[in-house]
Structure 1
């Protein structure tokens, strides 16, 4: 079968560079679902074959290679499982959690924390494949490069884009035009993958929030935010009368603590169609948690349900405990700011987020002043109190639901593995 039938034009371009160019680092960055990981997984197999040959020349009976990713789950999902589905290749795993193929000992390393590097400290590696590279810290990435000290060791990287001042872009991608650096970098857009269902692509383009998220996820650009964070919020269409609320809403609240700065509690109801309605708000400063904000929370419980969860900022764990001591269903909020914002922004883009007229004036006031910091790529820490509370309220249960599904899938996979070993 011709290679044109197996790969896209951009993937063939990458493969040609892999075979013909002189490089030490090969970096693929760009849009989601654009084919980066597919071709990098293929190159990973080619690298393992190359390492096997290098080791034979060096009379090395146990060559080692680093497979790095944000977590064990992302390594399995993005690489190990994908190799099985793409190429029908299964990588055996030993009791140490190492994978094996072509006589190469493949050592997983987790870039999400410094502890994830313990497995590779002191090792001498023939190369590395770093998945989701932008999620790694620079120190962790440098540790991986330091381990790749065998002559002719090479490093494969794939990543979605991030802040234009991110170290991966500034120190590597932007320097790929200097031959002495031996860096090859390729940029992907979603349209570089014509194998995707056109309906899927058009729908994804339609629901992806405008601005930074569209530029990164669809166009594959390394950009920061510009101006308002929730560009798609349209007060004319998204502010509704209370009598338009569905009758069967499930309620929850988000809490952003403050004292000199405002404390904000935002109450949101959601239906089984994925629509969210901001129905109530409490906002103020210079008030103690006990008794003021506890009394506010109790009133919301009586109005919207005694078991209603409150998802709160984890910066003040003593306040969360205080809520719990008063029988309030308080929970730690999901703290990933950019991911949380993207989840809220996606709902706004899809017209699945509404505000009851007059119910949350401080949220409405803030949303037009809630903007990106051009230098850091993060939200400016002003006019963000109601915004943070809404983010905790919406993003936390969505994230928890995803984690539960992933853990269930992992348990099923572990059970199957133990069964294959005859241990259960």
Structure 2
């Protein structure tokens, strides 16, 4: 069995560079499902064996190596479980969540928050593997880099693209100073030649246009430009009136407001996988009593058990809803992930709007645009957009336990 049976041409290029060049950083970046993590997982094993040889020469009994990821779940899913499935490793963890492999102590740290510093502060590391590197808190990333001070220590990283002004892009991937000894490789989804062609075709067809397509498919570090929901087509996605489909699943999104507008949206998922914006209630300068009345009317119309996914910024309002026997849950506010969830429905032609029961949706959808400086939507006239995002992303995509507010 040759290399071409195990790796794609891009992965072979990475592998050859790793074993023939002198490097400090090896960063593989680009599209989802493009093969970055697969080659980095194997490089991780190769690096542990190399570290053991270096430690033997230096008469070090237990060299330490940093395994970093956004969370314990991401390390488990992206690295450890994949290695178990591929090679049959069984990892035994100590009370600090570290494990031994090939005679090297692998210390796990989580880069999602500043708390990740605690696991590695003070240690001398012989190398590091940073998964999902662009999601790393910068202080934790820099600490990992500084801790890799043993002779010959090297750092592997993989990441999906982010804003082109991200520190990982500007300070590392784009750093062509030979003294920095940084090698980076860009991956697009087409670089993964082992993927089924129908899967690739489906991914390309179903990924929203613009920034999401450029990042997820092409693997480019780009900012958003123009309309956030550029695939929205009023000609095909809007009907004058849409009745509640039989057996549809109904849920709501809530964006609290006063000085700026507040909004409650009513959405329904039909049996064909479509999501329909059935109603939208948007008003300015309204107290919580008004919104309780709106929610009660929605309950009378669609059933008392429907969930309301609300902005957690006003916990007192959530508490009032709960006291009024309204099923109020905190909506997940992950901005880009939530926008992508909505944008995918729109791209797939699975999002529809009932015109006669909406008031501000059409005032917002066409002015909801990207801010090229921040990589996020401009924070103006976005109340309905936020309510829709909280509802769809939380109801469809968040698999962890949803926080129900306790009054």
TM-score (norm 2): 0.96
Is the 1:28–1:186 contact (alpha carbons within 8 Å) kept by the matching residues of 2? yes
- State the match for 1:128 in structure 2: 128
Is the 2:282–2:359 contact (alpha carbons within 8 Å) kept by the matching residues of 1? no
- State the match for 1:343 in structure 2: 341
Shift of 1:22: 1.5
Choose the corresponding residue for 1:361, options 355, 359, 362: 359
- State the match for 1:403 in structure 2: 400
Distance 2:132 2:198 in 1: 26
Is the 1:310–1:330 contact (alpha carbons within 8 Å) kept by the matching residues of 2? yes
Is the 1:256–1:312 contact (alpha carbons within 8 Å) kept by the matching residues of 2? yes
Distance 1:272 1:122 in 2: 56
Ranges in structure 2 where 5+ consecutive residues have no aligned partner: 403-407
- State the match for 2:197 in structure 1: 198
Alignment CA distance shift 1:287-1:404 (3 Å): closer
Structure 2 residue 368 is the aligned partner of structure 1 residue 370: yes
- State the match for 1:153 in structure 2: 153
Distance 2:350 2:376 in 1: 24
Q: Deviations over 1:384-419 (max 9, x none)?
A: 10000000111112233x2269xxxxxxxxxxxxxx
The aligned length equals 402
Q: Deviations over 1:234-285 (max 9, x none)?
A: 1111112435642211211111111111001111011244321100111111
Is the 1:70–1:111 contact (alpha carbons within 8 Å) kept by the matching residues of 2? yes
Shift of 1:322: 1.4
Distance 1:100 1:134 in 2: 27
Distance 1:378 1:331 in 2: 25
Is the 1:334–1:399 contact (alpha carbons within 8 Å) kept by the matching residues of 2? no
Q: Deviations over 1:88-124 (max 9, x none)?
A: 3333333432122111111111011122332212111
Structure 2 residue 247 is the aligned partner of structure 1 residue 248: yes
Is the 2:242–2:278 contact (alpha carbons within 8 Å) kept by the matching residues of 1? no
Distance 1:5 1:247 in 2: 51
- State the match for 1:50 in structure 2: 50
Distance 2:359 2:351 in 1: 16
- SS for the counterpart of 1:56 is helix
- State the match for 1:408 in structure 2: none
- SS for the counterpart of 1:299 is helix
Distance 1:142 1:247 in 2: 55
- Segment of structure 1 superposing worse, 373-382 or 241-250: 241-250
Distance 1:188 1:214 in 2: 14
- SS for the counterpart of 1:358 is helix
Distance 1:42 1:148 in 2: 20
- State the match for 1:207 in structure 2: 206
- State the match for 2:384 in structure 1: 386
Is the 1:189–1:218 contact (alpha carbons within 8 Å) kept by the matching residues of 2? yes
The CA RMSD measured in Å over matched residues stands at: 1.4
Alignment CA distance shift 1:58-1:314 (3 Å): same
Structure 2 residue 107 is the aligned partner of structure 1 residue 110: no
Distance 2:94 2:324 in 1: 49
